[in-house]
Chains A and B, each alone.
Chain A
Amino acid sequence: MELTEQDYQLVAAIQGGLPLVEHPYAEVGEQIGLTESEVISRIDEMKQSGIIKRLGVIVRHHELGYVANAMVVWNIPDEKLDFIGRQLGLQPCITLCYERPRRLPEWPYNLFSMVHGTSQDGVIQRISAMIDDLGLQGIDYQVLFSGRRFKQRGARYQ
């Protein structure tokens, strides 16, 4: 899907959130010169084409008590990456699962996943259970818990 100039205006108008009013799409449309139904159909197309992954309530899990945030990085043999990546991606406790490049020698990990929980112990138990369930014993991995959050907001595009 090719984005038009007007689409970029729409992206800019909604990326910080929809207004909490009775007719949010109409209000967005007023800002950028589109009708309510044009805004709705354009957002729908962006969803269909995958540009918008989801549209909904974006929660801040840390504030809701999910303070243990683990980035689990795995060094998966290249030939097994697609299979294991898809399996990990389907686990309910995994909220992100991406292939990223190794940077040898200091960084051998090529698969990144995220596990959140209310305690570090609970998160470690979930990871151990997942390793057993998926038969990942013997795969080199590391768990990087988050410390201070210096900045967290949605991405903004110019």
Chain B
Amino acid sequence: MAIAERRQTTFTPPPLQPPVEAPVIPLLTTLEKRLLNEFQHGLPLSPTPYADMAEKLDSSEQEVIRLLQKLKELGYISRVGPVFKPRQVGYSTLAAMAVPCDQLHTAAEYVTSRSEVNHNYERHHHLNLWFVVTAADQAAVEQVLTEIETHCGFTVLNLPLLKPFHIDLGFPLWN
């Protein structure tokens, strides 16, 4: 991949800091917690999955739908739906850049603006901007990385998945 002209980066990586946002544990009912924790995989493939969930929860279909809508509006769930295995549909990679602190926001803004980017995080490390690029195929992904490199002026480390070692059953909460 073409390496963009590198700007000199003379900066000290930021020290390990606590998260900027203080942890706020939301107040949830037992039913809401069960909805969040027990249905991260295995959503029923029946004509009425929410009614099936309601039965397991000793609740009603309307209540399950209402609570899922509420949890979505509050931002506690992103969706009720599928997680696709990486690369089964399209191609993706994890990429990282080392950006001087005073330019991080500008670089991050450009990376975020790319529709092919679905995750974009700061991490406390010399390599401080981490993002996931997803597109139709490998060539399209690498083209996006080259464009990001050229636009931002920093080398992009391309770290594609080689082998997965875990089974995704969701995220255990309140354990």
Question: A148 at the A/B interface (Cβ < 8 Å)?
Answer: yes
- How many chain B residues touch the partner (CB < 8 A)? 88
Q: Is the CB of A43 within 8 A of B82?
A: yes
Question: B41 at the A/B interface (Cβ < 8 Å)?
Answer: yes
Question: B31 at the A/B interface (Cβ < 8 Å)?
Answer: no
In the complex, residue of chain A having the shortest beta-carbon distance to the beta carbon of B65: A20
Question: B16 at the A/B interface (Cβ < 8 Å)?
Answer: yes
Interface of A is mostly: mixed
Expressed in whole angstroms, the minimum distance between the Cβ of A133 and any Cβ of chain B is 16
Q: Is the CB of A57 within 8 A of B36?
A: yes
- How many chain A residues touch the partner (CB < 8 A)? 80
Contacts of A98 in B (CB 8 A): 161-165
Among candidates B40, B119, B125, B163, residue contacting A151 with C-beta atoms closer than 8 Å: B119
Q: Is the CB of A58 within 8 A of B17?
A: no
CB 8 Å contact bits of B133-163 with A (1 = contact, 0 = none): 0111000000000000000000001111111
A90 to B164, CA, bound (A): 12
A127 to B151, CA, bound (A): 37
Among candidates A86, A101, A146, residue contacting B162 with C-beta atoms closer than 8 Å: A101
Contacts of A141 in B (CB 8 A): none
Q: Is the CB of A147 within 8 A of B36?
A: no
A144 to B125, CA, bound (A): 6
Among candidates B41, B47, B162, residue contacting A36 with C-beta atoms closer than 8 Å: B47
Q: Is the CB of A57 within 8 A of B43?
A: yes
Q: Is the CB of A157 within 8 A of B90?
A: yes
B-side interface residues toward A, CB under 8 Å?
14, 16-26, 35-36, 39-43, 45-51, 61, 65, 68-69, 72, 74-85, 88-90, 92, 94, 108-109, 111-112, 115, 117-125, 127-128, 130-132, 134-136, 157-173, 175
Question: What 8 A-B pairs are tightest by C-beta distance, nearest first?
Answer: A17-B79, A89-B166, A147-B122, A89-B165, A54-B41, A85-B165, A65-B25, A151-B120
**A/B interface sample: 23 pairs, CB < 8 A:** A17-B80, A18-B49, A18-B80, A25-B45, A43-B82, A54-B83, A54-B170, A55-B41, A55-B43, A56-B80, A65-B23, A65-B24, A67-B21, A90-B166, A97-B164, A98-B164, A99-B161, A107-B157, A112-B159, A145-B16, A146-B124, A151-B118, A153-B78
